[in-house]
Amino acid sequence: MREYGQFYIGGQWVDPAQGRPHDVVNPATEQVAGHIALGAQADVDAAVEAARKAFVSYAETSVAERVDLLKAILGEYKNRADDLAAAVTEEMGAPAKLAATAQVGMGLGHLATAAKVLADYPFAEDRGTTRIVREPVGVCAFITPWNWPLNQITCKVAPALATGCTMVLKPSEEAPFSAYVLAEIIDAAGLPAGVFNLVNGDGPTVGAALAAHPDVDMISITGSTRAGVEVARAAAPTVKRVHQELGGKSPNIILDDDAFEKGVKLGAAGVWSNSGQSCNAPTRMLVPAARMDEAAAIAKASAEKVTVGDPTGDAKMGPVVSQAQWDKIQGLIQQGIDEGATLAAGGTGRPDGLDTGFYVKPTVFADVTNEMTIAREEIFGPVLVILPYDSVDQAVEIGNDTPYGLAAYVSGSDQDAVRKVASRLRAGQVNLNSAPVDLNAPFGGYKQSGNGREWGEIAFGDFLETKAVIGYTPAED
């Protein structure tokens, strides 16, 4: 049983000012795995004050000093990799192999990338007689989700540390264990007191307090579009910078060529990964109308090969994070059936033989129209919907017909054709032919998928203010 009742504020583990107990449930067993305390306004005030105090000196540190700090965190992170993976599996149900490789690996990658970018980042440049200086934005507040906890924390924390910002983190109360281990890592790495602070809490209390706090200069949230809107509203009176990485319903256009079968297979596999709990998952597959039955059969075979079960074993897919998520997914699957989509695989209920745990059947719907609820709402579970198109133009039109714009996918054997389709899709990141993850590629969305970009060099800009010093270099007579 994990007991994490304290917060990390000002370089110390401290008791909450007004802590409320909160059970953290293991989604594979439905049993309480540990406890945390939920903070309140007083805890937020203390953490922000510590970050504000630390900013005065941390903002003045050299690039070399910050590179050394990031490398120290990297070293401690590697030492605790097994602890991080175990925490992720226990808190949100990621299969052990996925937790050890992708979940932990993404955090490692963001820290390493930030250190590398920082070494040569142009914080100042001269244009004529003016010097343009990029300075840290100040105290940042981070609200992070449960689905990729280490990825979403480190892709905010790493560039913030690199650019000279200080911060307060509110991790998800549903999956807080890995954040605690990361705080221990940061403490062991010797980060100056107050630069990084952690306060647990829920959205309506700690999240809202951080968003509205007058001494927070920037708030960054990864979560639902609904949560992002509430954060923006709370932040508006103080005119702080608002960064949002929100929901998605990503189109995956499979072109009509000899790479069709491969494209469908890889697209379906991308939905089953992490139990479908990825905001950029390729859940909305578009295929030529004449090949709908073929696509459904390929996707069905893919779904039926997925082993679902105990995430501490060899299962490829674990549970979804909570009873609330399981209920939501079940309701949307039933809605897909009720609205007339063809259920090609999966369906409601748990997989056979799994009576305990928040397990969902890998599910495939065919013959979906873009007006159906399952084609428009983010299900956030292992549910693939397949829509038909009659022409590439129509595929692009359907692909863009969504309030979201986080990611999109295109596959086909003709690289020029694939690139042409990608250029027409309104999304912040477009993946061609299931290319591997690129940690230097900006990540963020168009439309209601958010504002700002994370990952790599581009992410640094969101944590920097731009100052123009006119006359820095006097003009020659």
Q: Give yes or no for residue 477 having a pLDDT over 80.
A: no
- SS3 of 436-451: CCCCCCCECCCHHHEE
Region at 92 (left for phi over 0; alpha for psi -120 to 50; beta for the rest): alpha
pLDDT tier at 68, thresholds 50, 70, 90: very high
Is 90 exceeded by the pLDDT of residue 19?
Answer: no
Pairing between β-strand 124-127 and β-strand 218-222 as defined by DSSP bridges? unpaired
What average pLDDT does the segment 179-197 reach? Answer: 98
Instruction: Indicate if the pLDDT at residue 469 is higher than 90.
Output: yes
Write down the mean pLDDT value for the chain: 97
CA distances, 309 to each of 125, 316, 323 (Å): 55, 8, 16
- On the question of pLDDT at 112 being above 70, the answer is yes
Structure-token match 């100056």, residue found: 192
The pTM assigned to this predicted structure is 0.97
- What is residue 361's three-state secondary structure? coil
pLDDT at 396 over 80: yes
Looking at the predicted structure, is the pLDDT value of residue 290 above 80? yes
- Region 75-88: mean pLDDT is 98
CATH 3.40.605.10 intervals, the chain: 2-246+446-469
* Active site annotation includes 245: yes
Q: How many CA atoms lie within 13 A of 175 on its CB side?
A: 28
- The pLDDT of residue 441: 98
Distance CA(454)–CA(16), nearest Å, equals 31
* Structure tokens that stand for 373 in this block: 């609820």
Q: Identify whether 279 is a catalytic site residue.
A: yes
Is 3.40.605.10 the CATH classification of the domain at 2-246+446-469?
A: yes
Asked whether the beta carbons of 161 and 68 are under 8 A apart, the reply is no
Q: Among the options 91, 230, 245, 457, which is catalytic?
A: 245
Mean pLDDT for the stretch of residues 142-146: 98
Average pLDDT over residues 253-282: 98
Collapsed DSSP state (helix, strand, coil) of residue 428:
coil
CA-CA distance, 345 to 304, in Å (whole number)? 7
Q: What angle do CA 84, 276, 415 make, to 5 degrees?
A: 105
Contacts of 102 (CB under 8 A, 6+ apart): 274
Q: Out of 165, 174, 279, 457, which one is annotated catalytic?
A: 279
Is 80 exceeded by the pLDDT of residue 318? Answer: yes
Give the pLDDT confidence score for residue 7 in this predicted structure: 98
Q: Is the pLDDT assigned to residue 455 strictly greater than 80?
A: yes
Q: Which residues contact 352 (CB under 8 A, 6 or more apart)?
A: none
Strands 31-38 vs 2-4: parallel, antiparallel or unpaired: parallel
Percent of the chain clearing pLDDT 90 (strictly above):
99
Residues carrying CATH 3.40.309.10, the chain: 251-432
Residue linked to tokens 């008791």: 15
Q: In the predicted model, what is the mean pLDDT of residues 350-370?
A: 98
CB 331: neighbour CB atoms within 10 A? 13
pLDDT of residue 475: 80
Q: In percent, how much of the chain has pLDDT > 70? A: 100
**Separation of alpha carbons 189 and 70, rounded Å:** 9
Length of the chain: 477
Residues 195-205 have a mean pLDDT of: 97
As a whole number of angstroms, the distance between CA 325 and CA 383 comes to 13
pLDDT (average), residues 274-288? 98
Domain 251-432: homologous superfamily in CATH = Aldehyde Dehydrogenase; Chain A, domain 2 (3.40.309.10)
Q: Tokens 């003016």 — which residue?
A: 130
